[in-house]
Amino acid sequence: MNETERELQILQDNYQEENIVTLEWQEHIRRRPGMYIGKLGDGSSYDDGIYVLLKEVLDNSIDEYMMGFGKTIEINIDNHFVSVRDYGRGVPLGKVKDVCSKMNTGAKYDSKAFKKSVGLNGVGIKAVNALSSDFYMVSTREGLSKTVEFRQGIEVSDGETVASASPNGTMVGFTPDAEIFGEYHYRDEHIEPLLKNYVFLNIGLTILFNGKKFTSKNGLEDLLNENLTSEELYPIIHLFGEDIEVAITHTNQYGEEYYSFVNGQHTTQGGTHLTAFREATARVIKEFYNRNFEYSDIRNGMVAAISIKVEEPVFESQTKTKLGSKEMGPNGISVNKYINDFLKKELDNYLHKNPDTVEALQKKILDSEKERKAIAGVTKLARERAKKANLHNKKLRDCRFHYNDAKGDDREKSSIFITEGDSASGSITKSRDPNLQAVFSLRGKPLNSFGLTKKIVYENEEFNLLQAALNIEENMDGLRYNKVIIATDADTDGMHIRLLLLTFFLQFFPDLIKKGHVYILQTPLFRVRNKKKTFYCYTEEERLSAIEELSPNPEITRFKGLGEISPDEFRNFIGEDIRLDRVTMRKEDLLKELLEFYMGKNTPERQTFIIDNLVVEDEEVA
């Protein structure tokens, strides 16, 4: 019997009744937080767990508003402590403790009380409780109030019911537990988009966040205006129905861009409602024009939002990012039929009444059709060339697991590094995790693609191979890596290559950036060390701090390029402690104007801008 067999035999011999353990509810959540809130994170990403905790509490307050109670929600975040106060009905006082600490306890099983709510499983607030170092809930109803307090999900105080002059509603306060989340920080740039979505979906609701006011008068129309980075080709089509609201327009950007919601929940991964919406919208438009348009031409450049309300929705995970429901509720009508019938009537009516929109939309469809046919001749050859190159060349060093194949943390961690030159790609290739990290090597500087049509993507070998490696020729659904990481030298040539790649993505695949898949790899500028300790420094400030700590006379190395960093050292920079800056787009970043200024032919204007800014920097240094 070998060692492995002996270990297995020991395990089998030790498997007795006493080995069966029943965990308390809070301990189960604390041991398996990913089951309840997805990944943990430190607050640097919008979907980190600390934001899920905030959302779980907010969803309960939003449900109260959706049922017609409480028009204002107050949120305050002071360092790590979070409080959320709504002015709804308040939790029934005899059940305050239970809703905080008994799994699968809640009012939302009773569809009379909460017909179309977000939280259904009676789990969310318990997860917040268990994963917080301190947690309390105060409920006020009709002049009476009750408070309960917990630490790490364990009851500390179950207060008496007392008289209160406060308005009806619920106050929840919590501090995410550092034992679970480590060092973390709430960031306004991840909280504010969440709050904006809440008010866009609930016209008349006011959210106060640390005193800042969020509200909306025009619902999904406001949402599209907030997120558009290219000028719309016609006024936003905004349609309402019972349990459904949609907003649609087109821009001159490539691809499709959607925002989908169910019962106020942002379904970032779509689901049955988004699939139905995409199909129905294209079908109605095609039938209106009575022409044999391709659906892809109709949807190219479309920016749209859909919000539906479903009774007892079924999501594919506790974090509720993808709808699985096929029916709207107990009446049996399917999600697909409901959305199709609504658009067939309302969108068709709108088009008949708005000839200017009809003309602008038809021109966009015809332009898309013309461009698609223009590249049809090169597409097949280009794809074959890309497949052959990927098989026989070393431009792509693939990983074993891809975005669409992996699950959980592996799905989140799958990435591809886009590097310049053989030395840099060689160092990363030797240092990477071959299960989750792929490497794509550029040959020299890519083409400046600004102002060019998508035909160039197939005619240019570098671009053709890159889009094939990412598997985004058709749409974003086939994306193979969650993170697309631009890894270039921190010199002027490296910065230029970075700009050329960003121009390529912004021109032809803007959704790749808008959905948070594109990142910049930060690598150290300096290594400062002595015989006992080594510091890798990303800024001049860090270099000076390291010199001060390691004095006297430490060895200082300036890294001029990625190829100068040994594979052994590179493991420090692309592993667990990887530093990434996500590329984002804001409303004010109008894409056409942005690219035209930085990548267009306005050389004198840009040269003046650079000189003026260099002067400012010199003055600051002086």
In this predicted structure, the answer to whether residue 121 has a pLDDT above a threshold of 50 is: no
**Quick one: pLDDT at residue 77?**
94
The CATH architecture of the domain made up of 220-370 is: 2-Layer Sandwich (3.30)
Q: Helix (H, G, I), strand (E, B), or coil: what is residue 422?
A: helix
In this predicted structure, the answer to whether residue 469 has a pLDDT above a threshold of 70 is: yes
Distance between CA atoms of 135 and 157, rounded to whole angstroms? 11
Distance between CA atoms of 553 and 547, rounded to whole angstroms? 8
566 or 171, which is more confident = 171
Instruction: Provide the 10 A C-beta neighbour count for residue 254.
Output: 19
> What confidence tens digit (pLDDT) does each residue in 536-583 have?
888 888 999 999 888 788 999 888 777 777 888 888 888 877 888 888
Cα–Cα distance list, 296 to 136, 291, 371, 424 (Å): 51, 14, 12, 38
- The class level of CATH for 393-523+561-589 reads alpha beta
Distance between CA atoms of 192 and 173, rounded to whole angstroms? 19
445 or 245, which is more confident = 245
* pLDDT mean over 98-103: 82
> What confidence tens digit (pLDDT) does each residue in 261-307 have?
988 888 888 888 999 999 999 999 999 999 999 999 999 999 999 99
In this predicted structure, the answer to whether residue 335 has a pLDDT above a threshold of 60 is: yes
* pLDDT mean over 383-411: 69
The amino acid occupying position 449 is S
The residues, any chain, with a CB within 8 Å of residue 593's CB and separated by 6 or more, are: none
491 or 462, which is more confident = 462
Domain range annotation of the chain:
29-214, 220-370, 393-523+561-589, 526-558
User: Which range is least confidently modeled, 127-141, 316-330, 413-427, 481-495?
Assistant: 316-330
The amino acid occupying position 534 is T
Cβ proximity of 313 and 323 under 8 Å? yes
The CATH architecture of the domain made up of 29-214 is: 2-Layer Sandwich (3.30)
Distance between CA atoms of 77 and 192, rounded to whole angstroms? 12
Averaged confidence pLDDT in the chain: 83
**Quick one: pLDDT at residue 4?**
61
Cβ proximity of 457 and 508 under 8 Å? yes
**Quick one: pLDDT at residue 621?**
35
Q: What are phi and psi of 164, to 5 degrees?
A: -150, 140
Distance between CA atoms of 346 and 343, rounded to whole angstroms? 5
Count the residues in the chain.
622
The residues, any chain, with a CB within 8 Å of residue 329's CB and separated by 6 or more, are: 310, 311, 312
- Sign, CA dihedral 213-215-220-224, equals negative
**Quick one: pLDDT at residue 250?**
96
Cβ proximity of 198 and 59 under 8 Å? no
pLDDT interval class at 616 (50, 70, 90): very low
